């Protein structure tokens, strides 16, 4: 119910948020957000996930190796789902000058606004940490939030694109986390810091 309300509100405020951002843009912030957007796509998350997975494996922590593997799987699932939606429901990006609100060439990236692939992948990736260490997961949520704002700031996505992608990413993380992490004492663990040597 909460997700439905948030999604509905995001569609309602799409134009208002985009007009506000467009009227308050400045070159310095735009360049910063463009770099955030450029280096925050799925390849950077894959590299991070593989590095963490390799570190956990070398240190002999099967628990954290499973967590990092789940992060990669959840991100891949969100990426595939988001890509299918983009092709099925084309939507022009805010920066595209057209009167079309929905529809358009399915294979043109200019019409792949809905949902945000960056945000969906990042949200799925870091949401898995909520099943392992809730506090770490909540702190890491600042990353997909920053990515989502950067995508809106440079005119790549509307607010609803970002919100729906975040919901999609969280659902993918929930499914993967339930399948791969349940029964492995990763939820609500009594330990506050990761025990890399625990098996």
**Going residue by residue through the chain (199 aa), what tens digit of pLDDT does each one get?**
888 999 999 999 999 999 999 999 999 999 999 999 999 999 999 999 999 999 999 999 999 999 999 999 999 999 999 999 999 999 999 989 888 889 888 889 999 999 999 999 999 999 999 888 899 999 999 999 999 999 999 999 999 999 999 999 999 999 999 888 875 544 444 444 444 444 4
Residue 56 lies in a domain: yes
At residue 102, the 3 state secondary structure works out as coil
Residue 186, domain member (yes or no) = no
Is residue 194, in this structure, part of any structural domain at all? no
- Say whether the peptide bond before residue 60 is cis (omega within 30 degrees of 0): no
Give pLDDT, residue 184: 54
| CATH code of the domain in which 14 resides | 1.20.144
The verdict on residue 196 lying in a domain is no
> What pLDDT was estimated at residue 195?
46
Q: Kindly tell me the number of DSSP H helices and DSSP E strands found in the chain.
A: 10, 0
DSSP 155: T
pLDDT of residue 51: 97
What is this structure's pTM? 0.87
Q: What's the pLDDT at 148?
A: 97
Backbone angle region of 26, left / alpha / beta, with phi > 0 → left and psi within -120 to 50 → alpha? beta
Q: What is the pLDDT of residue 107?
A: 87
The answer to whether residue 177 sits within a structural domain is yes
What the block records as the tokens of 66 is: 């499973």
Position 191 in a domain:
no
Residue range of the domain that includes 90: 2-181
The answer to whether residue 192 is domain-embedded is no
pLDDT for 183: 58
Contact between residue 109 and residue 123 where contact means Cβ atoms under 8 Å apart: no
Query: How high is the pLDDT of residue 198?
Result: 43
- Using alpha carbons, list the distances in angstroms from residue 197 to 41, 55, 60, 65, 71: 31, 11, 6, 11, 20
Residue 45 lies in a domain: yes
Number of folded domains in the chain? 1
């Amino acid at each position: 119910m909460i997700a439905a309300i948030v999604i509905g509100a995001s569609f309602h405020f799409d134009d208002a948020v985009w007009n506000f951002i467009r009227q308050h843009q400045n070159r310095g912030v735009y360049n910063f957000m463009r770099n955030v957007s450029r280096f925050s796509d799925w390849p950077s998350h894959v590299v991070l996930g593989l590095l963490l997975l390799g570190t956990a494996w070398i240190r002999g922590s099967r628990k954290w190796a499973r967590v990092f593997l789940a992060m990669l799987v959840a991100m891949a699932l969100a990426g595939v789902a988001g890509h299918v939606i983009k092709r099925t429901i084309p939507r022009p990006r805010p920066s595209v000058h057209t009167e079309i609100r929905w529809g358009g060439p399915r294979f043109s990236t200019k019409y792949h606004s809905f949902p945000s692939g960056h945000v969906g992948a990042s949200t799925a990736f870091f949401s898995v940490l909520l099943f392992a260490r809730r506090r770490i997961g909540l702190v890491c949520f600042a990353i997909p939030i920053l990515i989502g704002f950067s995508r809106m700031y440079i005119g790549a996505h509307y607010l609803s694109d970002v919100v729906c992608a975040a919901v999609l990413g969280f659902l993918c993380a929930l499914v993967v986390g339930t399948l791969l992490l349940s029964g492995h004492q990763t939820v609500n663990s009594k330990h506050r810091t990761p025990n890399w040597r625990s098996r």
